[in-house]
Structure 1
Amino acid sequence: MTEGARRTRLSKDRVLRTAVALADGGGGIDALSMRKLAQELGVVPMALYKHVANKEELLLRMVDAVVGEIDPPVSGTDWKDAVRRRVLSARLVLLRHPWAPRVIESLPAPTPAMLGYLDSVIGTFRSGGLSADLTHHAMHAMGGRLLGFTQELFTAAPGGPASEAPDAPAAVAPPAPDAVMPYPHIAEIAAAATHDDGSVVGGGCDDLFEFEFALDLLLDGIDRLHRQGWTSAARRAAQRSAGPA
């Protein structure tokens, strides 16, 4: 195929699919440049600027392409199951695109696809009977987990397995076996935990189990507050009446 023929087939969709594939292939977004993308597409770099203004816009559209892979809501299920399914689908999507959490966290504002996804999740909470007040706080509590990632307390050590969000700053490095002896409670829970050698979460914990465990805790807690008729106004009033601790 001649260079001219390749140029005529260049489209925004093809540019984005190729950019995502390059980022997935290794090196993430740091290894992605407009020049490298142009080379992969077989065009001159200037041809890309007919479809994206710069690398910043390219990254925004790449995020939208990734978010667009999240499964749509499933009808005929209760709100907890529906939200759970969407979140776990988002997690699988971001595991396919490990560079995406870093880009999402660096965004100055949500992209259109992100807004559409979050609006859909809010709609699921509201159609399940949750008040706008409780839904507001539920969205805060869920945080980045809604988009399928979370920063783990024990992250992978340098040179070790990648975490679910490999570019997120480390919170606490996993303790070495001989380092937990002075800390009996850490040693106790480390020995009690079920580990998975193939885990992507630091410390060898079962990453899917831990993600689902926290997700279910949040959803069950939100459901409990919904059934109790919880409101933020009542909570604040109770705190004011109780006075300083």
Structure 2
Amino acid sequence: MAQQAEAARRAPLTRERVLRAAVDLADGTGIDALSMRKLAQSLGVVPMALYKHVANKEELLDGMLDVVVGEIDPPVADADWQRAVRQRILSARRSLLRHPWASRVIESRTAPTPMVLQYMDSMISMFRAGGLSVDLTHHVMHAMGSRILGFSQELFGTPPPGVDPATLPAVDPETARQMAARYPYIAEITTRVAHDDASVVGSGCDDQFEFEFSLDLLLDGVEQLRRRAWTSRGGH
């Protein structure tokens, strides 16, 4: 095993190897801990050697994102458009769940990477092949938002990186009572749902279920619009 590890470290440095090592490092230590110096150490090279393959940290992040998007399954052949789109998006979600840092990188980008553009173009082609007009497809892409890449931007953010939700101060009973009196419908929802502490949607929510529920709701609604030959005001 030691000889295999040493042989891997001595393998010629390529852009693909640099990006894959960066993805592995981010998976293990988190995106905030990733640096060119640590990446170079993991590859057994000096930091300057990395710059022959990536110009800077931003290009590295773009390339890492392309690696993650490249793991998404190709479209399913011979399937109706809803099932094909659903399966592709759930594959994207699985890819992002394998790399929890990736959604943050996506949100930080000011322009889509080549692989993201290719993925988006492929998704649009699936909608069009399913009979959606250009007009409807345009609005569907807006409605889908980040869900098209397998994650949803929730109403309230998650705790900062490294903060365990279980360590956050609990609400005392009297404050909870006052809040329930002031916001009765919020209290009704939050006290009657089974809890999933790991949810990014909030305490009381099952992330995967909520994601698939929202996705199915959107896709079913889009199919109804397609059947009605819906167009937006002005047709764009």
Q: 1:161: Cα distance to partner?
A: 4.5
Percentage identity across paired residues of the two chains: 67
Mapped partners of 1:115, 1:52: distance in 2: 20
Which residue matches 1:38? 40
Which residue matches 1:222? 222
Higher alpha-carbon deviation: 144-153 or 58-67: 144-153
1:160-179 residue pairs with structure 2 within 5 A?
160-161=164-165, 176=171, 178=176
1:160-214 CA distance string (max 9 Å, x none)? 449xxxxxxxxxx9x9572642122112222332433554542131111111111
Match of 1:138 among 127, 137, 140: 140
Q: Secondary structure at the match of 2:77?
A: coil
Which residue matches 2:21? 18
Unaligned stretches of 5+ residues in structure 2? none
Distance 1:69 1:184, change over 3 A: same
Letter of the aligned partner of 1:187 in structure 2?
Answer: A
1:8-35 CA distance string (max 9 Å, x none)? 522211111110011111231x211111
Q: 1:76: Cα distance to partner?
A: 1.4
Distance 1:233 1:41, change over 3 A: same
Which residue matches 1:206? 206
Question: Normalized against structure 1, the TM-score is what?
Answer: 0.82
Figure out how many residues of one structure are paired with residues of the other and give that number.
224
Higher alpha-carbon deviation: 207-216 or 147-156: 147-156
Contact 2:127/2:137 (8 A) holds in 1? yes
CA RMSD of aligned residues (A): 2.7
Which residue matches 1:168? none
Mapped partners of 2:234, 2:195: distance in 1: 42
Question: Which contiguous aligned blocks of 4+ residues in structure 1 show a shift greater than 6 angstroms?
Answer: none
Mapped partners of 1:135, 1:4: distance in 2: 49
Letter of the aligned partner of 2:38 in structure 1?
Answer: K
Match of 1:62 among 56, 59, 64: 64
Question: Normalized against structure 2, the TM-score is what?
Answer: 0.85
